[in-house]
Chains A and B, each alone.
Chain A
Amino acid sequence: DAGITQSPRYKITETGRQVTLMCHQTWSHSYMFWYRQDLGHGLRLIYYSAAADITDKGEVPDGYVVSRSKTENFPLTLESATRSQTSVYFCAVSPAHSPLHFGNGTRLTVT
């Protein structure tokens, strides 16, 4: 979806390093979400944000940090990457009471 940009598309990092995944929307939708997708688990919510400067934990927040200083950006940071954080990460965006629009995902490998 052209309105959501995730970067990078692929990332390989080492255990213990800090990694930041970027998510940018060209709309001004209120809600932004970070999900991780793992085989056998579907998509699980890491963090979400209802507006700038408002964030909340999802189902699997441990080891992740988010911020939302501007409405259009919602970066996800792994402060000290672990192998269990190897996954595909999706950012999603929506206005209230509407379907989520997903980015193309970031495949992260932690070695």
Chain B
Amino acid sequence: AQTVTQSQPEMSVQEAETVTLSCTYDTSENNYYLFWYKQPPSRQMILVIRQEAYKQQNATENRFSVNFQKAAKSFSLKISDSQLGDTAMYFCAHQGGSEKLVFGKGTKLTVNP
């Protein structure tokens, strides 16, 4: 069974700074997807970024980028130029052939002014 581990329950960063959220996973599958979802206080689940395991190039979406290390089963999220609106829970997730998403327990990120 797949597992996803987020080792940082809480983090904080100053506005305009850069922060990296960690995620490791375990899977026996070769083809899979990895995701970062953001959950602001509104409770809505928002897709931040998606990485396909067979692609070596790290995914990037504006200020959000990942460092995908397939051999190490590591998938960290870097947020550049942090903004107050980035304050949220961030969930790392794995999706294999069954289409199910397996989530980590989340990292609560606070951006301070």
Contact = CB atoms under 8 A, between A and B. Distances in A.
A92 B104 contact: no
Interface in B64-113: 91, 95, 99-106
Contacts of A97: 33, 99
A90 B45 contact: yes
A45 interface: yes
Given A99-B47, A102-B44, A105-B43, A42 B105 contact: yes
Given A42-B91, A88-B43, A90-B45, A100 B105 contact: no
Interface string A48-76: 10100000001000000000000000000
B25 interface: no
Interface residues of B, number: 17
Nearest to A101: B47
B37 to A, nearest CB: 8
A43 B89 CA distance: 12
B92 to A, nearest CB: 9
**Which 5 A/B pairs are nearest by Cβ-Cβ distance?**
A102-B45, A42-B105, A42-B103, A43-B103, A99-B47
Interface of B: 33, 35, 43-45, 47, 50, 91, 95, 99-106
Interface of A: 31, 33, 35, 40-45, 48, 50, 58, 88, 90, 92, 94, 96-97, 99-100, 102, 104-105
18 contacts: A33-B100, A33-B101, A41-B105, A42-B103, A43-B91, A43-B103, A45-B100, A45-B101, A48-B99, A48-B100, A88-B43, A92-B45, A92-B101, A94-B99, A96-B99, A97-B33, A100-B95, A104-B44
